């Protein structure tokens, strides 16, 4: 640093290198505010703070007799491409708009382009510099940070949509999400509400780009969900053996895989070895998807330290979270740094702009603690203008089915399920069925607990959890007692719950905003109660009667629901007796619905109620994978012929049944 610590002193290093103290003080109010709040600055920063302190004590030139009170300052906030607002706020990190004397209020309103907006004034963006200059003549002013202006002006190179690579059945809003991701060159935060299909949008967006293989990072219990979804939607171009799920730290990334799926914890535990942080050929990952990205909200967490650099190096980075912020706006800082490699911004600067902070005693020393948010409108505009797209359920209500069922695959130790699947009970559903269900429940219990634990962390809405066995309910109740945040509660209703107490518990779940979970027995709570406050229903266990399952889920999906849709999840262990039971339920559902309704209905309600668009599949989607188009011909395939015969057989059975009913009625009439 050259010269004395005055306005002409020049920064010799850092992001302000080559700029004078005076220049930085005039153009970077947020940086100055941060510097003045530092508890014990040293070196060059101490010189700058000393200069600022001296500058503050210098008498300000007052023009036209206008000067802002000492306990207030002007705040400028960018809220649109062509508009910013000016309001007066209190000093010292206090929330709320400060009183602005009438003569100052009218003086600001007299500036060119001013438009009154409640307790603030709006100005066209083109007048930012002259308005700021005038505000600084009246008192202290905090302008729009330079990095905000830079990000908003950054050019974008959008890639065109390749419709041939889109899966069939995308909702219009999901297609919009893919197009938004393309307009952001594959660096995007998909922040849609729960249940709107962020996984499908991320997969469809990833398929638009050539940088495969793709790395998916997600909570442990969602690894198998990602594998099943990827194979289901892209079965013509992605084979099951090309999707590798990393199950333990000693695994290696398979060079032939087109998708690697790993949990946050496994990626973090590999920080020093670095086996998963690059492709097997040593190159950085080209396309990375981070599901439930609020897992990287804290810079002190190992997962954040590992994943943010990995995402910054990738050509494409797709983050998914329905709740990117859980507590305070500064949780967005790591996620934005991950998506914007050009953003070199310290957390303190971001926090100074978007968080209310107060000095509090912590461990015997005074520290700044985040106590709220500020400049929320600007932060929302910055997010939606750069990387984030977010739709709520009510925004796309007309496109949604009222209920969506989905199967959630759980990973259970092979030896446990193999032993159960080969047992005598697994061969049929007769007398041994209760014993089989008990064994399956015991085997899948750890995976169920893990999944519910992660659901509690990512879902803020009310949830119903159905189970059958007492042991399963006891273990789930223990998880809820341990993991529900302070002040939140749950109700449990099973066969041991007195009938007189049930209405009180139902009312608590329906009306108490702090009661988040209803843990219910499938058989004891399938009828007679209404729990429409829930938008998510989880079946931790299956039950062999489809009608009982439908009755149970109808506790939430019924008239009077305050939700636009209800999501129903079945936790199933793939390739096991558990899955065979699920398929048996599926068959029973089709049989009963065919008889009662005249057409078979699946347990899985389709995501889209509209006719899907048919597209020709692109012959090459992944650079290293050769795909073959299936030949088309007018002659029905053997599979089609079998299906046609099955339909005819079903029709014949229904007709025979109807004839039998008519004959029975005639016999009764004759009697």
Over residues 426-439, the pLDDT tens digits come to 555 455 567 777 88
pLDDT of residue 419: 67
Model confidence at 608: pLDDT above 70 = no
pLDDT of residue 119: 84
pLDDT of residue 57: 38
Instruction: Show me where the domains of the chain are located.
Output: 21-153, 163-396, 402-597, 635-671
Average pLDDT over residues 575-602: 71
Residue 323 is encoded by which pair of tokens? Answer: 């709740």
Question: Any idea how long the chain is?
Answer: 671
Q: Which helix (H) or strand (E) holds 560?
A: none
Model confidence at 620: pLDDT above 50 = no
Over residues 498-552, the pLDDT tens digits come to 888 888 998 899 899 999 999 999 888 766 677 888 889 999 998 777 667 777 7
Model confidence at 268: pLDDT above 60 = yes
Over residues 45-92, the pLDDT tens digits come to 777 777 776 544 333 444 455 677 778 899 999 999 999 999 998 876
pLDDT of residue 177: 96
Strands 355-362 and 365-373: antiparallel
**Domain range 163-396, CATH architecture:** 3-Layer(aba) Sandwich (3.40)
pLDDT of residue 105: 87
Model confidence at 283: pLDDT above 70 = yes
Query: How many helices (H) does the chain have, and how many strands (E)?
Result: 21, 20
Strand runs (DSSP E) across 295-425, as ranges? Answer: 316-320, 355-362, 365-373, 388-389, 403-409
Model confidence at 638: pLDDT above 70 = no
pLDDT of residue 516: 94
Q: Could you give the count of Cα atoms lying within 13 Å of 456 in the half-sphere of its Cβ?
A: 24
Range list of H helices, 278-368: 302-313, 332-339, 347-354
Task: Using CB atoms within 10 Å of the CB of residue 295, give its burial: 0 to 12 exposed, 13 to 18 middle, 19+ buried.
Answer: buried
Fold of 402-597: Rossmann fold (3.40.50)
Average pLDDT over residues 589-603: 64
Asked, colleague to colleague, whether 163-396 and 402-597 share their fold, the answer is: yes
pLDDT of residue 659: 61
pLDDT of residue 363: 75
pLDDT of residue 416: 65
pLDDT of residue 500: 82
Q: Could you give the count of Cα atoms lying within 13 Å of 332 in the half-sphere of its Cβ?
A: 25
pLDDT of residue 628: 35
- How far, in Å, are 2, 277, 604 from residue 590 at the CA level? 82, 46, 11
Q: Could you give the count of Cα atoms lying within 13 Å of 236 in the half-sphere of its Cβ?
A: 17
List 567's β-bridge partners, or say none: 404, 536
Q: What is the C-alpha separation between 461 and 534, in angstroms, rounded?
A: 7
Over residues 178-222, the pLDDT tens digits come to 999 999 999 999 999 887 889 999 999 999 999 999 999 999 888
Average pLDDT over residues 372-399: 90
pLDDT of residue 349: 93
pLDDT of residue 412: 83
Over residues 223-256, the pLDDT tens digits come to 988 998 899 888 888 999 999 999 988 899 999 9
Q: Which helix (H) or strand (E) holds 14?
A: none
pLDDT of residue 348: 92
Q: What is the C-alpha separation between 667 and 659, in angstroms, rounded?
A: 12
Categorise residue 218: left if φ over 0, alpha if ψ from -120 to 50, beta otherwise: beta
* Average pLDDT in the chain: 80
Average pLDDT over residues 301-330: 94
Model confidence at 319: pLDDT above 90 = yes
Q: How confident is the model at residue 612 (pLDDT cuts 50, 70, 90)?
A: very low
Write down the pTM of the prediction. Answer: 0.71
Among 221-230, 559-568, 654-663, which stretch is predicted with the lowest mean pLDDT?
654-663
Q: What is the C-alpha separation between 97 and 118, in angstroms, rounded?
A: 11
List 289's β-bridge partners, or say none: 216, 318
Among 464-468, 490-494, 598-602, which stretch is predicted with the lowest mean pLDDT?
598-602
- The residue whose two tokens read 């939607």 is 233
Q: How confident is the model at residue 642 (pLDDT cuts 50, 70, 90)?
A: very low
pLDDT of residue 657: 61
Q: What is the C-alpha separation between 404 and 567, in angstroms, rounded?
A: 5
CB 390 within 8 A of CB 198: no
Over residues 461-482, the pLDDT tens digits come to 899 999 999 999 999 999 999 9
Model confidence at 28: pLDDT above 50 = yes
- pLDDT above 90 coverage of the chain, percent: 41
Among 146-150, 179-183, 572-576, 664-668, which stretch is predicted with the lowest mean pLDDT?
664-668
């Amino acid at each position: 640093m050259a010269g004395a610590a005055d306005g002409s002193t020049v920064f010799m290093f850092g992001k302000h290198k080559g700029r004078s103290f005076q220049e930085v003080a005039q153009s970077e109010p947020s940086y100055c505010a941060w510097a003045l709040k530092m508890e014990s600055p040293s070196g060059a920063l101490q010189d700058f703070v000393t200069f600022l302190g001296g500058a503050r004590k210098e008498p300000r030139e007052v023009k036209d007799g206008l000067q802002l009170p000492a306990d207030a300052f002007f705040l400028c906030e960018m809220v649109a491409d062509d508009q910013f607002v000016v309001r007066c706020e209190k000093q010292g990190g206090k929330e709320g708009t400060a009183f602005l004397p009438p003569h100052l209020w009218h003086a600001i309103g007299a500036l060119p382009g001013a438009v009154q907006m409640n307790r603030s004034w709006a100005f066209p963006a083109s007048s930012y510099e002259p308005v700021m200059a005038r505000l600084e003549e009246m008192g202290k002013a905090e302008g729009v940070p330079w990095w905000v202006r830079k990000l908003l002006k950054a050019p974008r190179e959008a890639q065109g949509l390749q419709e041939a690579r889109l899966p069939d059945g995308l909702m219009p809003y999901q297609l919009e999400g893919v197009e938004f991701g393309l307009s952001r060159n594959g660096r995007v935060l998909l922040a849609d509400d729960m249940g709107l299909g962020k996984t499908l949008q991320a997969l469809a967006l990833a398929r638009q780009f050539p940088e495969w293989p793709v790395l998916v990072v997600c909570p442990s219990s969602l690894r198998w969900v990602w594998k099943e979804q990827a194979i289901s939607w892209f079965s013509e171009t992605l084979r099951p053996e090309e999707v590798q799920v990393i199950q333990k730290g000693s695994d290696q990334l398979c060079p032939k895989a087109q998708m690697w799926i790993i949990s946050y914890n496994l990626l973090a535990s590999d920080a020093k070895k670095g086996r998963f942080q690059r492709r097997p050929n040593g190159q950085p990952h080209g396309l990375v998807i981070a599901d439930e990205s609020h897992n990287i909200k804290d810079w002190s967490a190992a997962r954040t330290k590992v994943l943010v650099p990995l995402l910054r190096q990738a050509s494409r980075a797709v983050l998914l979270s329905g709740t990117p912020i859980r507590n305070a706006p500064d949780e967005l800082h790591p996620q934005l740094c991950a998506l914007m490699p050009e953003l070199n911004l310290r957390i303190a600067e971001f926090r100074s702009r978007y968080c209310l902070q107060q000095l509090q005693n912590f461990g015997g020393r005074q520290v700044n603690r985040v106590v709220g948010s500020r400049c929320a409108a600007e932060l929302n505009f910055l997010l939606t203008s750069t990387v984030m797209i977010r739709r709520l359920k009510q925004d796309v209500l007309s496109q949604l089915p009222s209920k969506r069922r989905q199967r959630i695959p759980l990973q259970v130790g092979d030896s446990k399920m193999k032993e159960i699947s080969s047992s005598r009970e697994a061969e049929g559903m007769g007398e041994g069925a209760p014993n089989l269900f008990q064994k399956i429940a015991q085997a899948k219990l750890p995976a169920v607990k893990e999944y519910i634990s992660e659901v509690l962390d990512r879902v803020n809405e009310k949830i119903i959890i159905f189970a059958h066995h007492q042991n399963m309910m006891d273990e789930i109740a223990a998880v809820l007692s341990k993991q529900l945040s302070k002040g939140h509660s749950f109700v449990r209703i099973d066969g041991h719950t007195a009938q007189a107490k049930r209405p009180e518990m139902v009312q608590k779940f329906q009306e108490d905003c702090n009661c988040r979970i209803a843990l219910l027995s499938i058989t004891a709570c399938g009828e007679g109660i209404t729990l429409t406050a829930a938008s998510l229903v989880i079946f931790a266990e299956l039950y062999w009667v489809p009608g009982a399952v439908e009755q149970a889920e109808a506790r939430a999906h019924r008239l009077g629901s305050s939700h636009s849709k209800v999501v129903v999840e079945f936790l199933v262990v793939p390739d096991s007796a558990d899955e065979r039971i699920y398929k048996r339920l599926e068959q029973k559902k089709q049989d009963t619905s065919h008889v009662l309704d005249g057409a078979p209905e699946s347990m899985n309600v389709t995501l889209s109620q509209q006719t899907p668009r048919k597209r020709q599949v692109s012959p090459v989607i992944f650079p290293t994978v050769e795909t073959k188009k299936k030949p088309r011909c007018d002659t029905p395939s053997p599979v089609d012929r079998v299906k046609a015969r099955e339909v005819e057989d079903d029709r014949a059975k229904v007709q025979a049944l109807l004839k039998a009913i008519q004959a029975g009625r005639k016999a009764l009439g004759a009697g």
